[in-house]
């Protein structure tokens, strides 16, 4: 078994010609073969690109600014998405895309008072999009995309723990 390593990524972005500021988010990739790229946009959002060779991994996003970006988009370059978890404190959101049939997405909220299914009426709802020329899983190219719900960031947490599994083995 290969030991996990920590790869800290800090990205500096010029918001205008000479004014450089640190990125609002830092990521620690805690899995071998995992690469994370952080790309702020001019509208105040940030895209987190995650590439994971093994398909199973985890990382932690750390807030570097006074508040989280206006929007945090996760792009997971995986062949499947049996499980994606985003945890803040004792609250975990979990998404899963079926690898067969119509690729139905299920989402749930795990909190101290129990587990509930998330639907479009929930403030924790976030759709998972398959961004690929082909819509068959396993993906040969492309990624899965999810915008973290504003409710998850509402209390301005210092960190968000992410974990993912492409396919259960």
pLDDT of residue 14: 31
- Indicate the pLDDT class of residue 31, thresholds 50, 70 and 90: confident
Tell me if 132 is assigned to some domain.
yes
- 102 is a domain residue: yes
What would the pLDDT profile of 34-59 be if each residue is shown by its tens digit? 999 999 998 999 999 999 999 999 99
DSSP codes joined into one string, the chain: -PPP--EEE--EEESSSS-EEE-SEEEEE-STTEEEEEEE-TTSEEEEEEEESSSEEEEEEEE-SSS--SEEEEEEE-S--SEEEEEETTEEEEEEE-SSTT--EEEEEEETTEEEE--TTSTT---EEEESSS--SS-SS-EEEEEPPHHHHTT--SEEEEEEESS--
Tokens of 26: 């830092």
Q: In the chain, how many domains are there?
A: 1
Average pLDDT for residues 78-83, to the nearest whole number?
96
Q: Is residue 1 part of a domain?
A: no
pTM of the model: 0.84
Has residue 112 been placed in a domain?
yes
Task: Tell whether 24 is covered by a domain.
Answer: yes
Domain membership of residue 71 as a residue range: 7-165
Mean of pLDDT over the chain: 86
Residue 2 lies in a domain: no
Give CA angle at 88 (82, 94), nearest 5°: 20
Is residue 11 over pLDDT 90?
Answer: no
Each residue's pLDDT tens digit, 126-151: 999 999 988 789 999 999 999 999 99
Does residue 25 surpass a pLDDT of 50? Answer: yes
């Amino acid at each position: 078994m290969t030991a996990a390593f920590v790869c800290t990524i800090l990205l500096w972005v010029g918001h205008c010609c000479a004014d450089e500021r640190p990125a609002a988010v830092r990521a620690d990739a805690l899995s071998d073969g995992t690469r994370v790229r952080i790309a702020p946009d001019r509208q105040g959002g940030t895209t987190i690109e995650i590439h994971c060779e093994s398909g199973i991994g985890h990382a932690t996003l750390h807030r570097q600014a006074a508040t989280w970006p206006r929007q945090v988009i996760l792009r997971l370059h995986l062949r499947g998405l049996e499980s994606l978890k985003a945890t803040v404190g004792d609250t975990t959101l979990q998404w899963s895309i079926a690898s067969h049939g119509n690729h139905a997405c299920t989402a749930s909220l795990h909190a101290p008072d129990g587990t509930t299914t998330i639907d479009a009426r929930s403030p924790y709802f976030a759709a998972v999009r398959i961004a690929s020329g082909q819509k068959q899983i396993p993906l040969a190219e492309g990624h899965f995309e999810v915008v973290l719900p504003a409710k998850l960031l509402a209390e301005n947490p210092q960190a968000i723990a992410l974990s993912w599994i492409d396919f259960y083995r």
